[in-house]
Structure 1
Amino acid sequence: MKKILLICAVALTAAQTLSAQKLYSFLDVGEPVNQYPAATWLKGNGITAFDQDKTYLIELWATWCKPCIKSMPHMSALAAKFKDKITFISQGVWESDTAKVRQFIADNPAFFANNLVAFDGEKDKSPFDRHWLKPSGTFGIPRTFLIRNNKIVWITNPFDLTEEHLQLLVEGKLTVDQAKAIVQKNKS
């Protein structure tokens, strides 16, 4: 009997460990998100969990990513406009040199003025890559996640994101169909 209880305890511990290691097996629009993967917070007080009553925008970038850098002034302007309504998180991904990332942030303070800034290291080794990027099918950056009421509302390219999108997000009215229609309207 003691042997069976010991085996059950070991199995339960192993199952809990495996489930703790994988925050999300699949991430797409409409999926609930509660926890933020472990990250090194380089600016602001970081988060470990999403607040049900807050709206979030997570911008993925890297110092070597030219399109990411090109999108930063646009994202910074959106962060300034919506700073009291949306929590903006600039999430550095897919690089290992923390000093380089810190220097980039120091050299470009305007890009991060209204954002929390997180960094988590190399591709395939970082919690953000394993628990968010791979489950969401994200294989390129820049990329932006919009979250409201602990659900992913839209995953997009930051160049497609507008004030109109964010206003609808804040109001709780943004849908993927509306978001795509706004993008199409702006391309016309």
Structure 2
Amino acid sequence: MKKILLTFIVLISLVNTLSAQKLYSFLDVGEPVNKYPAVTWLKGSGITQFEKDKIYVVELWATWCKPCIKSMPHMSELATKFKDKITFIAQDVWEEDTTKVRQFISNNASFFTNSMVAFDGVQNKGDFDRNWLKPSGTFGIPRTFLIRNNTIAWITFPFELTEEHLQLLLEGKLTKENATAIVQKNKQ
């Protein structure tokens, strides 16, 4: 009887461990990423996986985030310039009201012309929040992730991202060090 009880406890522990596993346990520069968390796509066909030979820019934002909104013209300009080479994803986070987000997108359509747009939902409940934001240590927005060949190439803020960064990313030459050097050079 004790063996059966012990086996049952071990089995329950294993099931709990497996169900609690995250899509990614840690996300930082150099970490591999394959799957995109489950989100609601509000614009564009969306993705479920990062394709190996593609480049992605994932921009985190919310309708209530003033710095996010301020960075949107800049990100839109980059998305237009690199639209045939880089997939831009505008990932809304930490909001409950899909209608409000849809209205914001409609009212500001020019910001999203060359980007897919995704909605995650409430903080701590959305798949993107649990499986992307928390593992990457993201506790504030705006935030920008650059992905090349299923690997996070750089994590930054939208106003730091330049055409020079994206060109280096396309050429496979972007490193955390040269990305930071470009930011420092532009601050002078």
Q: Which residue does 1:78 correspond to in 2?
A: 78
1:30-45 equivalences under 5 Å are: 30-45=30-45
Distance in 2, Cα, partners of 1:86 & 1:128: 21
The structural deviation recorded for 1:18 is 3.1
Q: Which residue does 1:123 correspond to in 2?
A: 123
The structural deviation recorded for 1:124 is 1.1
Distance in 1, Cα, partners of 2:136 & 2:70: 23
The structural deviation recorded for 1:171 is 0.8
Q: 1:74-115 CA distances to partner (integer Å, 9 max, x unpaired)?
A: 000000000111100000001101000000000011000000
Q: Which residue does 2:46 correspond to in 1?
A: 46
Distance in 1, Cα, partners of 2:14 & 2:82: 45
Amino acid at match of 1:35: K
- With structure 1 as the length reference, what TM-score do the two structures score? 0.92
Indicate the SS of the match to 1:134. Answer: helix
1:139-178 equivalences under 5 Å are: 139-178=139-178
Q: Percent identical across equivalent pairs?
A: 71
Distance in 2, Cα, partners of 1:109 & 1:66: 17
The structural deviation recorded for 1:122 is 1.1
Indicate the SS of the match to 2:117. Answer: strand
Q: How many residues align?
A: 186
What are structure 2's unaligned runs of at least 5 residues? none
Q: CA RMSD in A?
A: 1.9
1:18 is the counterpart of 2:25: no
Distance in 2, Cα, partners of 1:11 & 1:31: 28
Q: Which residue does 2:107 correspond to in 1?
A: 107
Amino acid at match of 2:41: W
Amino acid at match of 1:98: T
Indicate the SS of the match to 2:144. Answer: strand
1:58-69 equivalences under 5 Å are: 58-69=58-69
What are structure 1's unaligned runs of at least 5 residues? none
Indicate the SS of the match to 1:46. Answer: coil
Distance in 2, Cα, partners of 1:11 & 1:180: 44
Indicate the SS of the match to 2:118. Answer: strand
Indicate the SS of the match to 1:69. Answer: helix
Q: 1:19-60 CA distances to partner (integer Å, 9 max, x unpaired)?
A: 3xx101111000000110000000011111110010000000
Indicate the SS of the match to 2:133. Answer: helix
Q: 1:119-141 CA distances to partner (integer Å, 9 max, x unpaired)?
A: 01111111111111111111110
Q: Which residue does 2:132 correspond to in 1?
A: 132
Distance in 2, Cα, partners of 1:100 & 1:15: 36
Distance in 1, Cα, partners of 2:15 & 2:53: 33
Distance in 2, Cα, partners of 1:94 & 1:135: 16
